[in-house]
Amino acid sequence: MSTAKVDRRVDHSHHFSSMDAEHEAGKQGVWLFMATEIMMFGGLFAGYFIYRFKFHDMYIAGGDSLDWKLGALNTLVLLFSSFTMAQAVTETMKGNNKKALKLVIITTLCALVFLVVKYFEYTAKIHHGLFPGFDLWNPDMDYISSKIRDVSILENTSPANLRLFYVLYFAMTGLHGIHILIGIGLMVWIMKRLKNNEFSPKYYTAVEGVGLYWHIVDIIWIFLFPLMYLI
Amino acid sequence: MSATDTHSHGGNYINCEKGLWSWLSTIDHKRIALMYFVSIMFFFLVGGLFAVLLRLELLTPEPLFMTGDMYNRAMTLHGSIMVFMVIVPGVPALLGNFALPIMIGAKDVAFPKLNLASWYCLMVGAIIAFLSLFWGGVDTGWTFYTPYSGRSADAVTMVVLGAFVMGFSSILTGVNFIVTVHKLRAPGMTMMRMPLFVWSLYATAIIQVIATPVLGITLLLLVFERVFGIGIFDASMGGDPVLFQHFFWFYSHPAVYIMIIPAMGIVSEVIATFSQKTIFGYKAIAFSSLAISAISFLVWGHHMFVSGQSALAGSIFSVLTMLVGVPTAIKLFNWVATMYRGNITLTTPMLYAINFLALFTIGGVTGLFLAAFNIDVHLHDTYFVVAHFHYTMLGGALMGFFAGLFYWFPKMTGRMYNEFQGKISAIMTFVGFNLTFIPQFIMGSQGMPRRYHTYDGIFTPFHVTSTVGSWIVASGFIFAIFIMARDMFKGKKCEEANPWGATTLEWTIPSPPIHENFKEIPTVTGRPYEYR
């Protein structure tokens, strides 16, 4: 049905009774989708804990072999990007589309920095034979033992268990990385809309939704960082 | 309102626009429901074809026309198609999409574009899954248990990816329905004034949103396992195949309630309408739906009684599983109490609803047998289990589905199906169904294992009866689909909007409804079931 295009800055879609109602519905939809994200990562976290309890020593070895400094750098980058994203939402609510645009650009740059750091981490691990797939798994044990706190834990466990650590490391941070990529896509989309001045103090659902998404991606990393790199 | 007046040309949602593209690009929930109608019926016929072929093969103990490999592939396709493409999307995406917004006095679902996207997800997922046929087929069964599924034919990746994409369809529908129920009820339509079908869809949507992503990540890990050889579910690499079973059933057990709860909602509507009574125990039925969806998350371990979980875990899962029987029985008693001293008319939807009552009760009670830890060890992986879940899924979910299809048929199409022929189809499915699956209970309790291509000669009479039954039940469903397909175009036009004397909001508007359902959003003042 050729419903006339609605100017969302001042009006609501046909099936809602008011702009507020439409905004609330949109927000609730995003929250529910966030619940699915949490359940999806929840499966991986459950797997992480099960294997961690089963193969405790090897998980410590695995965690030590990661570069916590790079992890910490990425944590700071993401935390800062969450801050700029939150600012962008506030500015959109105030009607400053131009200012919000700049903040979203900064957020996107942070996301790119995160991915670049991750790229260097991944290539280093693959170089040392720590990618658990194809024929790439060929762990450089000298590299591992040079990294870990207490070399004696390597004596009575098998490298197969170390492999399970790296399976979950790559699966979880990889899936998280895909979410960062999707986030960049979403931010490009709202950048375009901010540039066209499509939002108003009464209509900013898309910016707020992307903001919520970005925060959840950030929060997942905040759990991943200590579980993978620190403990 | 800025929306243009859309009721000027054409009279209703079906003829207000023309051309294939107007359908493929529609965001009207009713048109999307009709697109689901066509696609799900197609999947149902394909899935049913495989079922009939399987039964035919089992006519004799020796191989008849299939090799063992072919049998396994046909069995996998039958299960995957019926679960992921027919029963899971069936009631919510088709009938729910059509009826839910109208029943709560809304013009559409909250996110119409997502609604269309979810149809496309189902189609893309289905195409990917069907493509597996050209890669040599899949022989893992619909459960894709590891480690076998990590190593068997290449096509497993395709089917698993297909199921992953179809999962998005389910999630998007669930998100849409929850928000619609919360945010788009008409003025005065409080939660406790919603029809029970809406309650059941709401309870289902909660499961869809919470459980489906876990299946998503499980299937994704299985794809990684196959593509990269990561070994997370492979014991030879330190992984744990039983973890896959935990993940899989954490979704797939709640998923069986995704399949059955909406059908229960349909039965609540149909029985009240054709008993010409207000539903008995409205609150009890509404809350028992929520109770089932809550308990559904705590019972997955009953699929794994023989997978080496501890006796303690098995006992706990056993007790929790039996708890599901309580809200289910509450529903059944309330339906029977509604019929008691009602003025019952045995129309086609009512016959299908009565089929549901009889068959689902058997399915539910045998479910209690299987929930009992020690009995299940004996019956596990036998035909008893096959018969049990066909009684709940085919006898329950699909009978309810067809009850709903016939019930809302005049509403959706503005035409009446042939009542006499409809009744014949209902009776055929009932007779054929029992003929097919009662022998399987007996065989199962005597030890006939499921998923086998051949069997011991002593089971021949049971298998022959079962195969003959499958012909009758298949003819019944094909006949029902034929009636609907024919009368969608050729049926007698409905003279009145409400041919049943039903008492919910959707029957107060014309059949078929106009493009945006209501010229003016109604204000609700009475309790549910008071639109007489």
Q: Does position B341 have pLDDT exceeding 70, yes or no?
A: yes
Q: Does position B206 have pLDDT exceeding 90, yes or no?
A: yes
Provide the number of structural domains found in chain A.
1
State the pLDDT at residue B10.
57
* Contact flag B228-A28 (C-beta cutoff 8 Å): no
The enclosing domain of A205 has a CATH number of: 1.20.120.80
Which of B300, B464, B314 minimizes the C-alpha distance to B377?
B314
Tell me the pLDDT band of B146, cut-offs 50, 70 and 90: confident
- This model's pTM is above 0.90: yes
Give A220 or B11, the one with higher predicted confidence. A220
On whether residue A21 sits in a domain, the answer given is no
Domains of chain B by start residue, with CATH: 29-508 (1.20.210.10)
**Which residues have a Cβ under 8 Å from the Cβ of B168 and sit 6 or more positions away?**
B118, B121, B125, B216
Which residues on A lie below 8 Å from B243 (Cβ)? 47, 50
Give A150 or B299, the one with higher predicted confidence. B299
pLDDT (mean) for A219-223 = 96
Of A6, A40, A163, the CB nearest to B217: A40
pLDDT (mean) for A211-231 = 95
* Contact flag B218-A43 (C-beta cutoff 8 Å): yes
B478: buried, middle or exposed (CB in 10 Å: 19+, 13-18, 0-12)? middle
* Contact flag B232-A3 (C-beta cutoff 8 Å): no
pLDDT (mean) for B326-331 = 95
What's the whole-number average pLDDT of chain B? Answer: 92
On whether residue A170 sits in a domain, the answer given is yes
* Contact flag B175-A16 (C-beta cutoff 8 Å): no
On whether residue A213 sits in a domain, the answer given is yes
**B215 to chain A: nearest residue by CA?**
A40
Is residue B62 left, alpha or beta, with left meaning phi > 0 and alpha meaning psi from -120 to 50? beta
Tell me the pLDDT band of B7, cut-offs 50, 70 and 90: very low
On whether residue A23 sits in a domain, the answer given is no
**Which residues have a Cβ under 8 Å from the Cβ of A84 and sit 6 or more positions away?**
A103, A104, A106, A107, A110
Which residues on B lie below 8 Å from A203 (Cβ)? none
State the pLDDT at residue B50.
95
Q: Does position B218 have pLDDT exceeding 80, yes or no?
A: yes
- Identify the bridge partners of residue B463 per DSSP, sorted by sequence position: none
On whether residue A19 sits in a domain, the answer given is no
pLDDT (mean) for B169-194 = 95
Nearest C-alpha of chain B: how many angstroms from A113?
26
- Per-residue pLDDT tens for B65-122? 999 999 999 999 999 999 999 999 999 999 999 999 999 999 999 999 999 999 999 9
Mutate to test the interface with B, among A39, A131, A166, A176 (most CBs of B within 10 A): A39
SS3 A225: helix
Q: What range defines the domain where residue A161 resides? A: 54-230
* Contact flag A47-B243 (C-beta cutoff 8 Å): yes
On whether residue A20 sits in a domain, the answer given is no
Judge whether B264 and B400 are in contact, CB under 8 Å: yes
Q: Does position B8 have pLDDT exceeding 70, yes or no?
A: no
State the pLDDT at residue B2.
35
* Contact flag A15-B2 (C-beta cutoff 8 Å): no
On whether residue A25 sits in a domain, the answer given is no
SS3 content of chain A, % helix, strand, coil (to 5): 75, 0, 20
Interface of A with B in 112-141 (CB under 8 A): 132-134
Mutate to test the interface with B, among A40, A48, A125 (most CBs of B within 10 A): A40
Tell me the pLDDT band of B28, cut-offs 50, 70 and 90: very high
* Contact flag B232-A24 (C-beta cutoff 8 Å): no
State the pLDDT at residue B1.
33
On whether residue A24 sits in a domain, the answer given is no
* Complex ipTM value: 0.90
Give A54 or B199, the one with higher predicted confidence. B199
State the pLDDT at residue B6.
41
* Contact flag A3-B228 (C-beta cutoff 8 Å): no
Q: Does position A6 have pLDDT exceeding 80, yes or no?
A: no
Is residue B64 left, alpha or beta, with left meaning phi > 0 and alpha meaning psi from -120 to 50? alpha
Q: Does position A148 have pLDDT exceeding 90, yes or no?
A: no
